[in-house]
Structure 1
Amino acid sequence: MTDHIGAPGTGISRREYLAATGGTGAAVLAGCQSPMNLNSKAAAQSDLPTTSPPSVVQVDEQGGEVTLRSVTSRHPVHPLESMGGPIEFPQVWAFQADDREPSVPGPILRTTEGNDMEVTLDNTDGSHAHTLHFHGSHKTWENDGVPTTTGIRVDPGEKHTYTIPANVPGTHLYHCHYQTNRHIDMGMYGIFRVDPKGYEPADKEYFMTVKDWDSRVPRQMNGEDVDYSPRQRNPDVFTINGKSLPRTLHPEDGSPMIVDSGDTVRLHFVNAGYMSHPLHTHNHRFRLVEKDGGQIPEAAQYERDITNVAPAERHTIEFEANADPGIYLMHCHKVDHAMNGNFYPGGMVSAIVYRDVMDTDIFSELMGHAGYEG
């Protein structure tokens, strides 16, 4: 059982969570409203591992080295028969770092400005060719990760080590760059974070990757007879850190942002999808302090409550947890992206949750929707 609670980053421990909620579990709520069952072939692939939430890999603490593998897995987006579920991708290609669990998004690779990372793509047990491409790093030609222009492709049965200098501080993206249109849509993406020298962390810091999916891709790769063309892509699933509401609120499997009154909160957004997503925080105005690895001068910062994140962009925002303690949504304001199929609400929605209200009936009810039993 994990000790991590909330979105990847520096939230609270499971012990703190249980203390804040009074140590009580929540009953799982079930229903059958507008079900969106994408799991038609999952039974045939029941032997596949199930993805876990993305973890933070402190690469500096590993001597600057990390190994990534692609692991064919099942990916539950929202596994319950409530709020438009269940939604499950019967097959994804999840990234696994070293001996950790495979995840979608992939692990957050975190290092410090001035260091080099040696990232080994281990495809010895793979069944598809892959590469690794890192945004936000000035690197040598052969380390760019594009097979068309470098001639380097990691075929099944092979390994390849990329040298990735951490010379552009900020929050970045990495992904497979072989047959990119399909491999990203199969889950091969993650966050690359370079802390600047002398980095001062906020009281709470969270990472969130948003993504739009056409569910026909993982279904087709799982052997289902579906008609799909990348020229006719039609996203029907919208996720934050791989989950859709209400699973996004699950304290261990999802990505709630748990805060205390007075906290300074730093939130790193990454868009790994193919559409722009205007991300909105309820009752909290924030400043955009960093974009695509570029620090925004203080004179150019202003308070707002929405930021439109284009494909592959990275936005870092900061706000004070100065609202009336409560539960406040954070969501894409393309409202059809905040749905599970025809059911609203769902999709690309999470929440800012004050610890002070985690012992209330409404929070317990939300945990029931999320499937958290304590």
Structure 2
Amino acid sequence: MKKGFSGLMVVFTCVLFFVSGAFAHSTGGGDVQEFEKAPATQNAEVPVPEEKCPNANDSWRQAQSFYGVQVDESQQCMPDNPKLVAAVTEGTNNVPMMDLMDLGLSEDAVRKGEDLDGDGDPDVINITLEVQEINGRSPSGSSVEGISQEIAPGIRPGFWVFAPKTRGMATEGASASSIVRSPSPTIRVEESDRVNIKLENTHYFPHTIHFHGVDHDFEVNGNGNDGVPQVNGEPAMPGGTQEYSFSPEQPGSMFYHCHVQPNTHVLMGLQGMFSVEEERDNNTVQTFNIGGGKVRNPSEAVEQEYDNEYDMIYRGLDKELHNKIKKSNDPRVIAEGVNKEYDVTERNPDYYLLNGKSFPYTVRESQVVVEENETTKMRVLNTGSEGLSLHPHGHKPTATHYDGVEVDEEARIQRDVFDVSAAQRVDLEINSTEDGLNSYGPGAWFMHNHKEEAVTTDGIAPGGDVTLLTYKSYQGEENLPQKGVSWDQFFTEKYYEGEIPMWQGLSDKYGNIEVQPASTSTVVLIGLMGLILGALGAMVVV
């Protein structure tokens, strides 16, 4: 009896489903009740994109020689000025004055002296650094504009940086403005060189330099040499100088930064890579790599083992801190803003930079460009306070050095994600041999921090520290990738203001999908199928 009753209930339920479904989907005359359609998609207007490689000089990409210095080719959209590379390699005291004027370099930016050991290269290196401001507020009523630089379209946070001593004022449009940029330049010296670095403080706050990881005496002739003012002498006051001297015995990738209020001065940009190169004969090194990226005059030791070398400097940036120098030019107001109002313990990065830029500008000048069957040395420095999880697509590099210390070959790690903590340096060897392990083959492979917020610019993706590990065969016009979706929208301010959808335009390519309401015939068919299934179910139950 219970089974029969259950079967009848199944049939009754199906009948109700059929009747109610048909009734709900029909109105007077049997017309189908239309669902309310979503409004039509309105595409955002994409403004004319900015030039992808502005002021790029194609001849700068070619290998060439100046002052007897060989400068390697650079397959970047925006390559370094090869004459500048040659000048800071040869020494500014050995370069014609007219060239220094064109380059914006002072004659004492890097003086190279005696060859003390007779091995064919200078061993006395005298470097002069200044402190410069980028995107700060110009003095009220002044017709002189400070240096203005973007990290991405329309985005100009403020920076303080160390820079080679410039010729004249480093103002917007002046020749010196090209050598003042974030990050502070990578500095290269040779193992056992006698290095003397003078800091000429052209800024409104006191500063020092601490050579992190570089072996140096605590004091020289009774003067502080470690750059920590609380225990090691006075800082360079505004308009003053401070000198540091050392002869490093340990080669490797190191770090230098200001140690006055490091909780803000380091974050503001007073930091850079310091590379001590292995000693070799005829080893005149490229003293400054301005902006990082490809090293166009590698040391003899690097050239013996590698086909390419790159300096890759990563960091996060909190716009709350960096925008304070844009609101005032009064040092008292700025001091209160960055040291008192700003709480570094509540720091929240908005921008993520590689060599001072965010995508798409990273791809302009910091692509890692290789060919098949090459080995590439990539020096990685994390100057931010967050960890870096570096992931190159299509490759598994090998870590050869940590913090300037070589890793024994049997202990070396090969993987596709490398964790780099704050202030840490890792030297990676990239082997572009296609074997399924070292390389998956040619392509334009993404390379980025795998902390997902780091691939955004103020929350907009793609952005952040994304760049490419690109095989030459995949470089197209202006040395940018030749395949994939258009990059035009990424080279507009509106994109990073959130005004243009990421995938706008793809619907036109792949077709729009419209959902149509169910017709009366469809409802009737579904109802009949329900009746049949219900009857069969009742027969089985009974």
TM-score category by the smaller chain?
0.7 to 0.9
The 2-side partners of 1:166 and 1:174 are apart by 14
Which residue identity lines up with residue 96 of structure 1 in the other structure? A
The 2-side partners of 1:242 and 1:61 are apart by 31
The Cα shift of 1:58 comes to 10
- Cα deviations by residue, 1:25-46 (Å, 9 ceiling, x for unpaired): xxxxxxxxxxxxxxxxxxxxxx
Q: Which residue of 2 aligns with 1:270?
A: 381
Q: Which residue of 2 aligns with 1:21?
A: none
The Cα shift of 1:303 comes to 1.9
Which residue identity lines up with residue 392 of structure 2 in the other structure? T
Q: Which residue of 1 aligns with 2:353?
A: 239
Which residue identity lines up with residue 156 of structure 2 in the other structure? E
The Cα shift of 1:165 comes to 2.4
The Cα shift of 1:191 comes to 0.7
Q: Which residue of 1 aligns with 2:227?
A: 145
Q: Which residue of 1 aligns with 2:132?
A: 71
Report which stretch shifted further, 337-346 or 127-136: 337-346
SS, match of residue 186 in structure 1: coil
Instruction: Verify the 8 A CA contact 2:191 2:278 in the aligned structure 1.
Output: yes
The Cα shift of 1:166 comes to 1.9
What is the Cα-based RMSD across aligned positions, in Å? 2.8
Q: Which residue of 2 aligns with 1:113?
A: 191
For normalisation by structure 2, the TM-score amounts to 0.55
The Cα shift of 1:61 comes to 5.7
Aligned length, in residue pairs: 320
- Cα deviations by residue, 1:297-351 (Å, 9 ceiling, x for unpaired): 0000132111100001000000112342210011101111111122222102111
- Cα deviations by residue, 1:180-233 (Å, 9 ceiling, x for unpaired): 111112111111000122424310100011001111112112227986311211
Which residue identity lines up with residue 72 of structure 1 in the other structure? E
Q: Which residue of 1 aligns with 2:100?
A: none
- Are residue 87 (structure 1) and residue 155 (structure 2) matched? yes
Instruction: Verify the 8 A CA contact 2:124 2:194 in the aligned structure 1.
Output: no
Instruction: Verify the 8 A CA contact 1:12 1:258 in the aligned structure 2.
Output: no
Instruction: Pick from 344, 350, 357 the counterpart of residue 467 of structure 2.
Output: 350
Which residue identity lines up with residue 93 of structure 1 in the other structure? W
Q: Which has the higher helix share?
A: 2
SS, match of residue 337 in structure 1: helix
Which residue identity lines up with residue 441 of structure 2 in the other structure? D
Instruction: Verify the 8 A CA contact 2:191 2:276 in the aligned structure 1.
Output: yes
Instruction: Pick from 448, 451, 463 the counterpart of residue 331 of structure 1.
Output: 448
The 1-side partners of 2:149 and 2:486 are apart by 18
The 1-side partners of 2:60 and 2:312 are apart by 15
Q: Which residue of 1 aligns with 2:324?
A: 220
SS, match of residue 322 in structure 2: helix
Q: Which residue of 2 aligns with 1:284?
A: 395
Which residue identity lines up with residue 155 of structure 2 in the other structure? I
Instruction: Verify the 8 A CA contact 1:11 1:257 in the aligned structure 2.
Output: no
Instruction: Pick from 311, 314, 317 the counterpart of residue 210 of structure 1.
Output: 314
The Cα shift of 1:362 comes to 4.6
Which residue identity lines up with residue 350 of structure 1 in the other structure? T
Higher-Rg member (1/2): 2
Flag the 1:63–1:260 CA change in 2: closer, same or farther, 3 A.
same
Alignment gaps of 5+ in structure 2: 1-55, 63-69, 78-109, 113-120, 136-147, 167-175, 219-223, 281-300, 434-439, 493-542
The 2-side partners of 1:112 and 1:319 are apart by 24
Q: Which residue of 2 aligns with 1:305?
A: 416
The Cα shift of 1:17 comes to 6.1
The Cα shift of 1:151 comes to 2.2
- Are residue 97 (structure 1) and residue 164 (structure 2) matched? yes
Q: RCO (CA 8 Å, sep 6+): is it higher in 1 or 2?
A: 1
The 1-side partners of 2:241 and 2:251 are apart by 28
The 1-side partners of 2:269 and 2:76 are apart by 30
Instruction: Verify the 8 A CA contact 1:244 1:348 in the aligned structure 2.
Output: yes
Q: Which has the higher strand share?
A: 1
The 1-side partners of 2:76 and 2:451 are apart by 32
For normalisation by structure 1, the TM-score amounts to 0.78
Q: Which residue of 2 aligns with 1:255?
A: 366
Which residue identity lines up with residue 182 of structure 2 in the other structure? V
The Cα shift of 1:118 comes to 0.6
Instruction: Verify the 8 A CA contact 2:159 2:322 in the aligned structure 1.
Output: yes
- Cα deviations by residue, 1:39-60 (Å, 9 ceiling, x for unpaired): xxxxxxxxxxxxxxxxxx8977
The 2-side partners of 1:11 and 1:279 are apart by 29
Flag the 1:178–1:4 CA change in 2: closer, same or farther, 3 A.
farther
Instruction: Verify the 8 A CA contact 2:123 2:194 in the aligned structure 1.
Output: no
Report which stretch shifted further, 261-270 or 223-232: 223-232
Instruction: Pick from 206, 219, 230 the counterpart of residue 129 of structure 1.
Output: 206
